[in-house]
Amino acid sequence: MRLPSPERAILHLDLDTFFVSVERLHDSRLQGKPIMIGGKGDRGVVASCSYEARSFGVHSGMPMRLARRLCPQALLISGDMESYSKYSHLVTDIIAGSAPLFEKASIDEFYLDLSGMDRFFGTLKWATELRQKIISESGLPISFGLSAAKMVSKVATGEAKPNGQLHIPFGHETKFLDPLPIRKIPMIGKKTGQLLCNMGVDRVKMLRQIPLELLERLLGKAGVLLWKRARGIDSSPVIPYFEAKSISTERTFEQDTIDVQRLQSTLIGMTEKTAFRLREQKKLTACISVKIRYSNFDTFSRQIKIPYTANDNILIRHALDLFKQLYDRRLLVRLVGLRFSHLVHGHYQIDLFDDRCEEIRLYQAMDQMRRKYGKTMVMRAVAIDSDKQRKALNSSEKTSSCIP
C-alpha cells in the first residue's frame, strides 16, 4: 500500500456542463434556462444537461423520455459534436502549451501531474492561473481539484463546481472525504451503494471504519480498492496524453429498419463526414471497419486493410462492400457503425491510376465549403435519407448542397 506523498501534486480539470456551456456561447439566450442535450426520439438519452435541469432530477445518461417528464419546460437541443470537439481541442492545446505532463481522460476532463513544481512556484497559484487562462481564451467555465492523489482531486473538482476550485493539502484527505456521501467516491455505483446503505453506511467516514477484511469478503478486490479510496489512497499515475489511433462514429435508428437503401445511405453519409474529419486532421487511414447491430442486439463487425487514403470514393466503396458482407440475415437493424484506424499523419496523395484532377479539385472545393458553412452543407444526394429528401422538396427552406 502506497500512501499519498507530500511530493505529489495532481490537478484535475473538468469543464462544467461542457456541451451546455458551448451551446450558451453560441446563443446567450440559453443562459439561466433548463437545457437538455441529446437524442430527441424515444430511444434518445441525455448527453448533458444544465444545472437548472439537474434541479428537477435530470442527469446525464438518463432516457430522454423520462427526462422530459421530470422537466417538461426544458429546452431540447440535438447537439453539435463538431463544435464540442473544436472547443475540446482548444482547451487541450492550452493545457499542452503549459503543463509538463497531462492526461486527457475524456472530451472535457483532464489530469495534470504538477509534482515538483513547488520548487519553482506554488502549484495552487500555477493551477489558478491556468484555469483563468482557459476561461479567458475559451469562454468556458471550468473547475479544478488539487491534491496528492488522482481520486481525491476528482472528488474535489466535483465539490468545487460550478466554476470553482478546491485545494486539499497533503494530510487533509480523510478530513475532506469523511463528511461526503459514499456515492461521491468513484467506483461506487447503484448496486454497491445500495449494499452499503443497507448496512447503514451512507458517509465516507462510516465506510472508513469498516475493517478491510469485511470489505474484501463482501466485494472481493473491489472492496480492497474501496477501503483505500475511503482513506484518500490512490497512487495511480497520470497517463501521458497521445492522439487517438482511430476515428469512429455510429448511428442508432429511432426505429429498427430493414430498408437496405436507407442503411446504405446512412453509411455513405457517415463515411463522408468521417473522411472529412480525417482530412481536417491531416491524417490518412489504412483500415476501415463496419459494424451492424440487429434488433436482437446481436452485433457483428468486419474490417479490411487498404492503402493509406482519405478519399471519399475509396472509403465509401470499401464501407459498402463490408456492409454487403455483413448484412446477410435480413433482420431489422438497430445500429450501424464505422471506424477508421491505423491512422498516420499525412496529406492525401493523388492516385495516378484511379483519380482524376477534376475529382481532386472537387474534393478540395467541397472541403472548403464545409469549413466555411458546416460539414453538412455539401454531401452526396444518396447520403440523404429518402424521408428528408421528400421534406426538402416540399419545403421552401434553405437546404444542403448535394452532388450526384
Residues with catalytic annotation?
109
Distances, alpha carbon 314 to alpha carbons 99, 222, 268, in Å: 40, 47, 11
Q: Count the alpha carbons within 13 Å of 126 in the hemisphere toward its beta carbon.
A: 20
Distances, alpha carbon 63 to alpha carbons 36, 233, 234, 282, 326, in Å: 11, 35, 33, 37, 30
AA letter at 260: V
Distances, alpha carbon 310 to alpha carbons 275, 314, 348, 361, in Å: 6, 8, 6, 14
Which residues have CB under 8 Å from 236's CB, separation 6+? 150, 151
Torsion of CA 159, 162, 163, 168, to 10 degrees: 0
Torsion of CA 300, 304, 305, 307, to 10 degrees: -130
Cβ atoms within 10 Å, residue 396:
5
Q: How far is CA 84 from the centre of its chain?
A: 9
C-beta of residue 286 within 8 angstroms of C-beta of residue 307 = yes
Q: 164: burial class by Cβ within 10 Å (0-12, 13-18, 19+)? A: middle
Distances, alpha carbon 373 to alpha carbons 26, 227, 367, 376, in Å: 15, 53, 10, 8
Distances, alpha carbon 29 to alpha carbons 54, 162, 352, in Å: 19, 19, 52
Between CA 67 and CA 49 the distance in angstroms is 10
Q: 274: burial class by Cβ within 10 Å (0-12, 13-18, 19+)? A: buried
Which residues have CB under 8 Å from 326's CB, separation 6+? 290, 292, 300, 301, 302
